[in-house]
Chain A
Amino acid sequence: MKQYGDIAGDGGSDVLGQVIAQRKAMRESLASVRHVVAIASGKGGVGKSTMTLALASSLRDRGQDVAILDCDVSGPCQAQLAGLSGVPWIPEDEGLRMPRREDGLGVVSFGGILGADQPMLHESVAHGDEHTWRATREMAMLGQLITAVHWGDLDVLLVDLPPGADRTVHHLELLGPSAKVVLVTLPSALATGVVARSLAAVREAGVEPLGYIQNMAGYWCRDCGVIRPLFPDGNQDLDVPCLGSVPFDPGLARRCDDGWPTRTKDVATEDVTDPSSTAIEAVALALMTALEESNR
């Protein structure tokens, strides 16, 4: 009796061929993007999204053509952070037109088109088992989104990932072998311990992170004009280069709620020499250097 391998094809659907074609189409969509950089952490709440937008804005100010892809499907916030809520995705000949801020920063986030009270639900024909299919549906949907968007000739695409060591690895697989990763952590033993597992998982997948960002490295007291410690454990290092430390700043938090200002607005209304802005500029510079070195 014939065995599986004795019969050519798969019954007519060419499922494997379709999956390969999906991946090929996605890679082709990103082909003209010079650097794809995932901003990741095993720990939630460490400021991945804030760092992503802050870095993107800083890189944009340096003349880079930058966009953000928000892969946090359950809690997308990049559109709100960038002030692009409600800007629709318009289908054009080359693909979906990417929403852009006044300064040209592109942001693709499900949060921009979902209502504030509207969760992303992955319904299933097998009712009660939606959880079983979440990861598969989510990855397929992200793959289709990446394929659908016309990214253009970007210098940098920053990809804001959801938390989790395994999800970091899965998203890096989706983005392809040329994708780089930057980890974000806090200077606490708890957070650093969790992010260290992410580092191990990423390395096990064969990816060496460009470095890490230590967020909330103390808080800047605007009254005192000094940075005071937030966590009792002091500095907690990861075994990768530190791209920089960013202190917590109420001004930074306000920018997140109000929509991140463009450089033009920034200059007009705020002091851009505050420690958090200065630190973000330094991290952006370190990231650019790391990206250039990774290409050598």
Chain B
Amino acid sequence: MKFLCVACDQPMTLQDAMPAEEKGTLAVVYVCGGCDHQIAMLTNPWETQMVQSLGIRIGPKSGADAAAGQEAGTGEVAGKCPFAGMVQELGAEPQSVVPIPDTNPSVTDGDSLQWTAEALSRLDRIPEFVRPMAKQGIEHWARDHGCDRVTEEVLERARGTMGMSS
């Protein structure tokens, strides 16, 4: 989707993103570099969902890395929002700016275990749609084996139970 300033006949550029009052909706502001005129694109929940369902990011620097799920350090919060790339580019906190609900496949199953930063960084390597399921599977295993938090050691132990080196 592109935005054109009719008066100046030149493309507008992305300037800001704001949460709308209604859940699942967003206000994305564009500005014309010629006349400084601003417009806001207001997305309804369906439009927000359409983007999110593809597993892509809307924003100036959301490129191949994000598409391949290789973005580092975004964690789960950022991973839930299709506009996260754009919001991060603007220097804002994704969770405070875009409070749309978790639309990843639902795998909620009780309280999550604590994860150490090192273990969590390994989890962050997993693409966002698969991440919550992988997380749950590891937590199930950890609970079944008497672990009260997930550490690198727990991950290595879980790896060892697979019984076969690849």
B2 touches A18 (CB 8 A): no
A12 proximal to B (CB < 8 A)? yes
A230 located at the interface, meaning its Cβ lies under 8 Å from any Cβ of chain B in the complex:
no
Contact A22/B67 with A13-B57, A88-B158 known, Cβ cut-off 8 Å: yes
| B95 touches A (CB below 8 Å) | no
Given A1-B9, A110-B133, A114-B107, residue A143 in contact with residue B55 (CB < 8 A): yes
Tell me if A137 and B144 are in contact (CB < 8 A): no
Contacts of A127 in B (CB 8 A): 45
How distant is the Cα of A100 from the Cα of B141 in the complex, in angstroms?
A: 16
Cβ contacts A170-190/B at 8 Å (1 or 0 each): 000000000000000000000
Q: Which of A1, A10, A114, A129 lies in contact with B2, CB distance below 8 A?
A: A10
The answer, yes or no, to whether B63 is at the interface (CB within 8 Å) is yes
Q: Do A144 and B127 have beta carbons less than 8 Å apart? A: yes
Least distance between B61 CB and chain A CB atoms (Å): 8
B: contact size bracket: 35 or more
- Give bound CA distance, A100 to B160, whole Å: 11
A143 to chain B, nearest CB (A): 7
- Kindly list the 6 A-B residue pairs having the minimum CB-CB distance in the complex, ordered from nearest: A113-B137, A125-B24, A21-B64, A144-B127, A18-B67, A88-B137
- B residues bordering A, Cβ < 8 Å? 1-4, 6, 9-11, 13-14, 23-24, 30, 44-46, 48-60, 62-64, 66-69, 85-86, 100-107, 109, 122-123, 125-130, 133-134, 136-138, 140-141, 144, 155, 158-159, 161-164, 166
